[in-house]
């Protein structure tokens, strides 16, 4: 669960967790962005980082900083970890915070992961390595893979405007073409346009 607590102490929960064939949504997402004195923030979550349209939705709705808390393990996603949030920061002209936990989680009952391996009770090694990425492609060094840490850095939201003015990504993005394609793609009658 991701909890967003605003300055007055009110708590607003946003949760979307998609994993393989399961989708759990608590409260409709609507690319919710929170206007704070520190910038417009959004909370993507865990597996959602693999979906570029999640990041785009928050950015289109005015997010300047997108946090992505995760509990992710192992060799499957670790090669993507240093790239995904950084790419999202560049392509959506926002700051992103890729947050991952450390440690090993054990469950009292064995389970299988659908990967053909025998039943086990260990979820895997969470590899930490949290970092913050900027819209110009810069990023902080990652935190430890094995020790708790706190990442404190200064960001300048003016960099968002500077990058937008320099690169013009939003001006050349052709959103209306992709909106039409996505609309057609979501219909059962969709056919690929192959030449």
CATH of the domain at 131: 3.60.110.10
Q: Is residue 169 part of a domain?
A: no
Residue recorded with tokens 């200064």: 154
Number of structural domains in the chain? 1
Encode pLDDT of 13-50 as tens digits: 555 554 444 544 444 455 688 888 889 999 888 777 88
Q: Is residue 37 part of a domain?
A: yes
**Other C-beta atoms within 10 Å of 56: how many?**
18
Are the C-beta atoms of residues 48 and 95 closer than 8 Å to each other? no
Q: Is residue 25 part of a domain?
A: yes
Q: Is residue 178 part of a domain?
A: no
- Reduced to 3 states, what is the DSSP secondary structure of residue 176? helix
pLDDT tens string, the chain, 195 residues long: the values are 555 555 665 655 555 554 444 544 444 455 688 888 889 999 888 777 888 888 998 999 999 999 998 888 877 788 999 999 999 999 999 999 999 989 988 888 888 877 788 888 887 888 999 999 999 999 999 999 999 999 999 999 999 999 999 998 878 888 888 889 889 998 999 998 898
**Long-range CB contact pairs, 141-144, < 8 A, 24+:** 142/82, 144/102
Q: Is residue 176 part of a domain?
A: no
Paired tokens of 176 = 């209306």
In this structure, what DSSP letter does residue 116 have?
A: S
Q: Which residues pair with 133 in a beta bridge?
A: 96, 139
Q: Is residue 188 part of a domain?
A: no
φ/ψ of 25, rounded to 5, equals -125, 125
Containing domain of residue 103, as a range?
2-159
Q: Phi/psi class of residue 116: alpha, beta or left (left: φ > 0; alpha: ψ in -120 to 50)? A: left
Are the C-beta atoms of residues 85 and 97 closer than 8 Å to each other? yes
Are the C-beta atoms of residues 98 and 48 closer than 8 Å to each other? no
């Amino acid at each position: 669960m991701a909890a967003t607590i605003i300055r007055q102490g009110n708590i607003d929960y946003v949760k979307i967790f998609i994993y393989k064939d399961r989708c759990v949504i608590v409260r409709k997402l609507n690319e919710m962005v929170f206007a704070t004195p520190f910038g417009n923030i959004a909370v993507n979550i865990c597996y959602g980082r693999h979906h570029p349209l999640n990041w785009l939705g928050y950015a289109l709705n005015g997010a300047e900083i997108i946090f992505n808390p995760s509990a992710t393990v192992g060799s499957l996603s670790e090669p993507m970890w240093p790239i995904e949030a950084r790419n999202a920061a560049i392509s959506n002209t926002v700051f992103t915070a890729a947050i991952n936990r450390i440690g090993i989680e054990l469950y009292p009952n064995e389970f299988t992961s659908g990967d053909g391996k025998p039943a086990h009770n260990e979820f895997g090694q969470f590899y930490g390595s949290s970092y913050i990425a900027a819209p110009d492609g810069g990023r902080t060094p990652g935190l430890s893979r094995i020790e708790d840490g706190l990442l404190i850095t200064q960001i300048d939201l003016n960099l968002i405007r500077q990058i937008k003015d320099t690169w013009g990504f939003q001006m050349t993005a052709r959103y209306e073409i992709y909106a039409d394609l996505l609309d057609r793609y979501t219909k059962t009658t969709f056919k690929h346009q192959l030449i």
